[in-house]
Structure formats: C-alpha cells, structure tokens
Structure 1
C-alpha cells in the first residue's frame, strides 16, 4: 500500500545539524520509494515561509517563537491543532527526537486515528531520556513517550536505556541511520586537491577532519589536545599535520583559543557550516569522532562512506559501525591519550585498509536506500497493528 506519512522535526531546514539532515535525507528516500511524505517543523523566524518545498520535500512550519517555555507551548498547541484538523489525511506520524512533539502526538494517536513512531536521537548524559528527565513537566512528558506505538533505536545502547526505563521491548525497533553512498564516496587525488583549494586547507599536509556542532557533547577540545600530542611526536620528515573542523556553535572561540594554547593554532582550520559537507570529507586524509555521547553519528557514517580511515570514541553507535577489524581505531570518550593512539593507528600503514573496510561495511549495511526500506516496512507493520487494535476496540463496543 502507498503510505502517507507525517514527519515531525521541530528544527528543520534551513537550520539543520546531523539529526535534521538525516531526517530530510530519509524522508526524500522514502518518497522515492513510493511514500507520500509531508514535514511539520517550527517557524522560528517569521521571515521563513509557512510552507514550501525543499528539494522536492513538502514542509509546513508551525508557529514556534524563540521564547523559553512559551515558545514550546505555542508550537505544541499549533501541532495538536494541525494533527486534529488533518486527521484522515495521513496513515502514520514519524517524530524525530523523543521530546514534547513525540509525547503530544502519542497522546493523540486514537483521536487522529494514526500510530506514532519516534526516533530517539542519542544515548547517555546527552540523550533523549536524560533530557526528558530534566525537563519542566518531566513526569507528563515521559508518560506521553511511553504511549508511542514504536520507538526507533539507532543503537543497542539506546534500546537498552529505553527498556530499562520501562518501554516495552517488543515496541522497540533497531534501525540505524543511513547515508547516501553516491554522494559520500572515496575521492580521487584530483578531487582532494580541488576540495582543499576551495576550503583553504594546506595542499601537502595530512588533514584530520572533525565534523559537528561546536558544543560540549562533541568533545572537540579533546580532539585538539590529541592532534597537538601527535604533532609533537611526528617524525621530522613526515607531512605536517592539519586539523580541520567543520561546523559552528557556541564553543568556536574557546576552541580556537585552545588550539593556540596547545601550539597548533596555525595548523587548525575552523571551516564553519558547510552546505556541501562532502567537500570536507574529500579534502581529508582521516576522520576523528571525539564525541562524549551519540545516537549514531551521521558524520561517522559519512566519513566511512567516503572511505576515510577513522578514529572514534567508543560511544553509542560506534560499536555497531566499527566492529573488528575497525574497532582498533576506537578510544574511550574524554581520553586524550586514547584518542591520540587511535589517530596514530588510522594514520599508519593500516589506514588504507581501515578506510576500505569502512566503505565496504557502509555500502553493504547502512546505505540510505536500505535504511529507508526498513523504515517503510516498520511503517507498514505498525499501521497494520494499529488498525487491528482499532477494529477490535470497535467490535467490543
């Protein structure tokens, strides 16, 4: 059957980090595979149009002023109203982030006559459950989340957290993030040189790349320290090291200062937000994920699809993405010596093998096409179960 899906992602394009970019890519691919998809998001800027098509994806924006608490209340009121008015126009609701939007939609599932699934974005101290427990009205929020028809867990760690919190195991579906393996692919030598020229990176350096929001969760301070340690111990005749970080956020200036303090200010390049992020991967020799917590890192998926040797912290999702022999490049979160050792490993003669193995694994198991197909199958299964419940409830009356 042709599925009509509503995708809810309060922060969405044009402002987007990894989760929002993943939501857009997945929505477009499910459309390509036959679903009818409409995105509901927040209208944070009154200059943004209320509705538009972004890359062929229909997007409707609901009022969401940037006012603490009040802005959320206004947005949720508009969301509930929209879902009620359009009940019958869609078969399933898919929410990104296990937050207030997911709880509000789950509470309305019988009223709107459609099941609600939600993808939890992260695990650990920065995860969805941890955030829900600290939120105003946390008890009601968690009660709403427990009413979801399905929870999509990106990793075993996320699934375990939700089971431990009391969410029924049979309603948890483990589906990873996906990556466009045509857009993110190994670069030729000519493409690498051209990308470095466009991004202002040194032509002959060994470039280590980090990608993500410049926030505490991403651990870029530890990456700067690790690269500084490597630079000190590098052989005199080896290519100079350069660190490139793509992304923006509140810690940009403190991170610049840290690079100067560690003696690698001139070797560190803060690229800001890059629209064509594949250019950054093509310019790099290796990729580092220094996060303290993740769900399943989109940046790590993109780097692996690009065939880069990887060094990554052992957080949620990386264990699934980097089993043996890739696990030799994993480090404990927050450990500068461990991250430096992982970087040294991926920059060694083992690097090309690590990169090739990474690309092969992503193409085989984490392509966007395969993940979208699994998501559509989950939609079908959830809709069947929901309609079966409705039929039984009607018969019992």
Structure 2
C-alpha cells in the first residue's frame, strides 16, 4: 500500500475476517464509502477466510497478525510496527477482542481511534463482566469515540461501563434493500414447503441447538405439516460439527439443510418462509435486517437490540431466550396462518426501507470519520460535506 496517497487511511482491526454480521457491515462500508475520501486496510488478529472476496475495492490491503491464544503481548509490537509503517489516520476496532489495541495505536501515533461495539458473547450476555468493563473504561482516554450499534448497547455503555456521553455515539446498522428483496411467490395457494431459515456464524451465542429443538417440537405440534416443514441453517463456525451431529442423532437429516458458509445469502433468504434467530445475546443483527428486507416475518429472542428492530406482532414475534416451547409456538402460529406471514413480512420490508438502509449507515460512518479527522487536524484542507 502506497502512503503517497493523500487520502486518509482507515485501518479496521477485527478478530477474524469471516462470515458474520459485523464483517458484512464492515465490507459494505468499505465498498460503499466514496473512494476519493478514504483508503482502507483490514488487520485481522487471527486470520481471514474467502469472505474477503466480498471486498470490491482493489486498493484494500489485508494483514494477518496470526495471534495465538492468550495475551500474546508480542502482537502489540507487531501491530505497532505495522501502524508505524502504514501511518493511518484512523484505527477502527471492533468488539472486545480488539479494543486493547487502541492503546497500541496511540503509542504508534495514530491520531484517531474509534471502537465499535456490535454485541456481546454468550459468556457475558448482559455485559456485566467487571474485568472486561474495567478494560473498556480504562481505555477511554485512548478512544475518541465508542460506537454502539443499538440503543441497548448505547445504554449499557453509558450506565454499566460508564462511557462519557461525548464519546458514545450510536450508528444504526443497515442493509442493501436492492440486493435483499422479497421473492416473487404465488400467494393463491399454501406453499408446498414451509422453510424455517436462519443465517449466522455457528457459535454458542446464536443458540442453534435451541432452534433445532424447537423445530423438533414444531413437527410434533403440527403432525399434519411434517412433510412440508424444513429447517435451513446457513453458516459456518466452531459448533457446526456439533450441530451436524445433533441433527443426525435426532434422525432429521432429510428435513434439515446445513449448507455451511455461503456468499449468496440473498438467494437463500428468498427460499425461506420464516426467519428465526434464537440468540442468547445480540447487538443489531444484520441477518434480521436482511430477512426483513427480504419480506420475511422474524421469530427471535427478546435480547439486545432485537426488540428495537423487530416490532412484536407487527413484523415478527419475540420470545424469551432459551424458551424452546415458546419458539416452537411462535413458528407454529405462522405455519397455521399464511396471511400472517405475508402481513408481517411486508411490514418488515416497509420498516427496513424507511429506517434500515445501508446508505444511511455508510453516511454516518463517513461523517464520524470526517468530524474526528477535522478535530485532530488530519486533513490538509477542509473536507466538503457529502451533500456538496
């Protein structure tokens, strides 16, 4: 990467560049941000997969630090050297695994440090881990802005972590409403198959095991629908082998599809009838916004920022986390009432069109970058607003 380029460089630091909502939003922002405004590079603590192929801009470099498990203090030195070489204007870190490197970036002379919180993990779904929150709080002098992606996360940063209001700026997630759009379906007759689908990294926080249990319960609850019911779980991750084994042990391999990681998510969404996400913790899930943009009703858990985007009994149904029976009942209600599928799906599509556009998200991040760069005198001359 040539630093003779006068565009400010944004270095995005993530744990791993792999299939996931956070990573999808990151790539969308890079692809859509005006190319004459900022350069971008991605630094991965633990490597990347072919998900990186989704980056459309040819000038985006990717660096892997190959961080081993544990503290790995040597990674701080490696990052310091890389930042000194790249001389970025902004370091943008994502989630707990990357926040400590804001201090390293300060030592490396990076003028602007931004930290985004996209959600919490299964081990600490309510964000109450004192050690982790102390780390977030101690880094306040080294972080110019914390960016939560939901009001729930913003409240948590303010009230639990105690981040000052002046450094706590929420930016809503958004999706491409042209790429994700409803399938053209014949609504004059009930569908031959009712496909319950989900998309996401196969890890404990997404609680795919509960969805499988609810699907088994649903088949028992609606015996007349057994031949029509299907479950599709799209994604890869550390728990995929366990999920495959669970499906095999239950003897439902003929009605459950596990295609692994896919790049054609919009096509899979159009095959679904209902979207389900039984997560233990969440920020604002990109996959739910994609499902709503695709005209699907959403059955999800009442956690994190999900209630902010899923309007219960309007665009979907919310259940308590871990309540398998309630999850099955919610799915059954849609199976028994095709009109409800259409009504909630259309309401979700309308909501995302009005309030969930990825263009608004990109504009907000661009404005944040501009504001902080101007404050730190990064620009050689004043930057014009996007509207100009």
Task: Give TM class, smaller chain.
Answer: 0.7 to 0.9
Alignment-derived partner of residue 82 in structure 1: 82
RMSD: 3.3
1:229 aligns with 2:248: no
1:60 aligns with 2:28: no
Of residues 89, 104, 114, the one that matches 2:111 is 114
The whole-number CA distance in structure 2 between the counterparts of 1:224 and 1:30 is 39
Alignment-derived partner of residue 301 in structure 2: 313
The whole-number CA distance in structure 1 between the counterparts of 2:310 and 2:121 is 19
Of residues 101, 105, 113, the one that matches 2:102 is 105
The whole-number CA distance in structure 2 between the counterparts of 1:53 and 1:363 is 23
The whole-number CA distance in structure 2 between the counterparts of 1:274 and 1:283 is 14
- Superposed CA offset, 1:169-194 (max 9, x none): 2211111211111111111249xxxx
8 Å CA contact retained: 1:315, 1:333 = yes
- Superposed CA offset, 1:125-174 (max 9, x none): 55699598567xx8667522553111111112211222121211221111
Normalization by structure 1: what TM-score? 0.81
SS in 2 for 1:265: coil
Normalization by structure 2: what TM-score? 0.82
Q: 1:377 to 1:132 in 2, by over 3 A?
A: farther
Matches within 5 A, 1:148-159: 148-159=143-154
The whole-number CA distance in structure 2 between the counterparts of 1:317 and 1:140 is 23
1:182 aligns with 2:182: no
The whole-number CA distance in structure 2 between the counterparts of 1:46 and 1:169 is 34
SS in 1 for 2:14: coil
Alignment-derived partner of residue 8 in structure 2: 4
Paired positions, count: 365
The whole-number CA distance in structure 1 between the counterparts of 2:38 and 2:285 is 27
8 Å CA contact retained: 1:5, 1:94 = no
The whole-number CA distance in structure 2 between the counterparts of 1:91 and 1:268 is 47
1:16 aligns with 2:43: no
Q: 1:133 to 1:207 in 2, by over 3 A?
A: same
Q: Which runs of 5+ in 2 are unaligned?
A: 1-5, 379-388
Matches within 5 A, 1:126-145: 126=123, 130=127, 143-144=138-139
Alignment-derived partner of residue 352 in structure 2: 362
The whole-number CA distance in structure 2 between the counterparts of 1:7 and 1:80 is 12
The whole-number CA distance in structure 1 between the counterparts of 2:219 and 2:125 is 37
1:296 aligns with 2:284: yes
